[in-house]
Every structure is written in C-alpha cells, then in structure tokens.
Amino acid sequence: MTNRLTNRVTNRLLFSPHADDVVLSCFGALTPGATVVTVLAGVPEDPDVVTDWDRRLGAGSSRLLALQRLDEDAAAFAGTGVRLVAWPYLDGQYRTGPPDRAALLSDVRAQVAGADEVWLPAGIYAHPDHVLVRDAGLAACTEARRAGLDVDVRLYAEYPYQLYQMDDFHKAREDRGPYDWTNRGPRALAEWFRAEFPTARENGEEPAEVLLTREGAEAKDAAVRSHASQLGLLDEMVHGVLMEPENIGREYWWSATELTRSGGHR
C-alpha cells in the first residue's frame, strides 16, 4: 500500500531515539510545524571515556562525539520549520545502569498530551533504545486515549534496520542474491509486524509505503548527510547502499492507534 502523508495534521509529534533516526526513517512526515523529540540526546560527563561504537566511528571521546551529534541534529532540521527538542537521557552505550523508565514515561506523557498524531520507532531488529522509546510512547498514548484525547499513533520502520530484516527474510527464502540490500517489498516487514504485534488487526500487517518525491528525496539526502559522524560506519554495515536514492526515497509505517485502544501490544 502506497501512502502519501497529509500535511493537514495540526500537531504532529515524532520521537527519535537517537539524533538520526527520524531523519533516516520517516523524513516524509517532517512537515513544517512538526515537533521532533530526540530522546537519548544526553552527553556523558567523563571526557576520557570512549565506547566501542564511538571508537569505530573514529572518536577519541564519547563526550565530544555526543556534543557533535547535537550540532548535527540541529543542522539536519535547520530551515525546515520543524521544532527540535533534545532530551538529556543517555544513549544505551553510555548508561551504567538501567534506564529511568518512570521518568521517561512521565516526560513522554507530558509531550504527548498536546499532540494530534504521534510517531514512534517500531523497534525493528529489537534495538534496546528503540524498544525503550516505543514502549514508553505506546504506554503514554494508551493513557491519553483513556483520558479522552483523540491521538493517532504511527510506528515507523527504522532505516537501515529494516534492511537487515529484509535481508534475513529473503536469505531464508533464497529469493535474492547475497547482499542485495534493497529497500523494496514490504513482505519482510509484514511478517515481522505480525510476530511483534499479534493483536494488531486494524489495517493488517502490511505497512504503508511512502515514496518521496525527487525533491523530497534530495532534501532527505542533505538532512541525512548532516549526521556525518555516523554515515561511514552505517554505510559499511549495509554494504555501501545506505544512501542509494531508491533506498532512502522509500519509507514504511504502520497505524498503531488500535494498539493504544487495546492497552498494549502483547
């Protein structure tokens, strides 16, 4: 199902676990007046600490890289009319203990209260940070609906994690060549959604497919390239196809409003 998103939503709110997730995954939803919350935008205090992932990115200090990512995030949205909010929660690689789920839920609940439409990461490939944000968002939206607020909820397929899911799906069926990392065909995502959200039947498991216009794809390309610190390694992990126009010009999402009516996804 191909879907072009309406621009008539009064208050569209998108949650991005990390600085680049929304830009990579649902750029088509970034209309002027939308608000993006980068949830895990906290900066480690110790300038001498460098995590394995950050070291692979070429960083000598995780603190300095986290500060750089804040600047990259701001640059990606400059001039778009999108309001960017950065929260101080730490990325999972920087935490020394479990996340403060209660505090996060409280902040998400307050942010959701004024929204007409909320976009959350779907949690493809079970990245713990993405699942953390998704579940807090679903819980807050469930509470909002029970309180009488009419909020629509969307789950966006995270790029490039969806490429991993698609690759696994097609390798198991031997119907694609090795490393044919293309963002076409939602069957793999439908199968994942059916397993992850077995009670969701509102629109079936097939995701809506958004095809960006050429101008939209070019704008997305520029915004994604603002996150320069991450691109080299992300591209390497998907065998050099991260920025292929056909890949970044195609996005997927599901309606999750039914999940918030039923009180959860399990």
Phi/psi of residue 211, nearest 5 degrees: -105, 115
- What share of the chain has pLDDT > 70, as a percent? 91
d(CA 41, CA 218): 26
Q: Can you read off the two tokens belonging to residue 141?
A: 């939206």
d(CA 109, CA 169): 35
Which CATH code for domain 12-262? 3.40.50.10320
In this prediction, residue 174 has a pLDDT band, given cuts at 50, 70 and 90, of confident
Q: Can you read off the two tokens belonging to residue 110?
A: 């307050």
Rounded to 10°, the helix 62-77/214-225 angle is 150
- Rounding to the nearest 10 degrees, give the CA dihedral for residues 129, 85, 211, 158: 0
- Please say if the pLDDT value at position 199 is more than 80: no
Could you please report the per-residue DSSP string of 161-215? Answer: HHHHHHHHHHHHHT-S-TT------SHHHHHHHHHH-TT--SS-SPPEEEE--HH
Q: What is the mean pLDDT of residues 194-206?
A: 76
Q: Running DSSP on this structure, what letter comes out for residue 3?
A: -
Per-residue pLDDT at 3? 46
Are β-strands 208-211 and 250-255 bridged in parallel, bridged antiparallel, or unpaired? Answer: antiparallel
pLDDT, greater one: 41 or 8: 41
Phi/psi of residue 218, nearest 5 degrees: -70, -40
Per-residue pLDDT at 62? 98
In this prediction, residue 157 has a pLDDT band, given cuts at 50, 70 and 90, of very high
Q: Which conformational region is residue 79 in: left (phi greater than 0), alpha (psi within -120 to 50 degrees), or beta? A: left
- Please say if the pLDDT value at position 67 is more than 90: yes
Alpha-carbon distances of 176 from 27, 35, 136, 168, 235, rounded to whole Å: 27, 38, 36, 10, 20
Give the tens place of pLDDT for each residue, 208-243. Answer: 999 999 999 999 999 999 999 999 999 999 999 999
Please provide the average confidence, as pLDDT, over all residues in the chain: 91
Phi/psi of residue 263, nearest 5 degrees: 95, 15
In this prediction, residue 1 has a pLDDT band, given cuts at 50, 70 and 90, of very low
d(CA 197, CA 259): 8
Per-residue pLDDT at 201? 62
Per-residue pLDDT at 13? 98
The structure's pTM equals: 0.93
Considering only CA atoms, which of 92, 75, 93 is closest in space to residue 84?
A: 75
- Please say if the pLDDT value at position 178 is more than 70: no
Give the tens place of pLDDT for each residue, 106-140. Answer: 999 999 998 999 999 999 999 999 999 999 999 99
Q: Running DSSP on this structure, what letter comes out for residue 58?
A: T
Domain spans in the chain, listed from the N-terminal domain onward = 12-262
What is the identity of the amino acid at 93? Q
- Please say if the pLDDT value at position 204 is more than 70: no
70 bridge partner residues: none
Per-residue pLDDT at 262? 60
In this prediction, residue 86 has a pLDDT band, given cuts at 50, 70 and 90, of very high
Contact criterion met (CB below 8 Å) for 76 and 23: yes
Helix, strand or coil, per DSSP, at residue 251: strand
- Please say if the pLDDT value at position 182 is more than 80: yes
Per-residue pLDDT at 179? 55
- What share of the chain has pLDDT > 90, as a percent? 78
Q: Can you read off the two tokens belonging to residue 239?
A: 């065998």
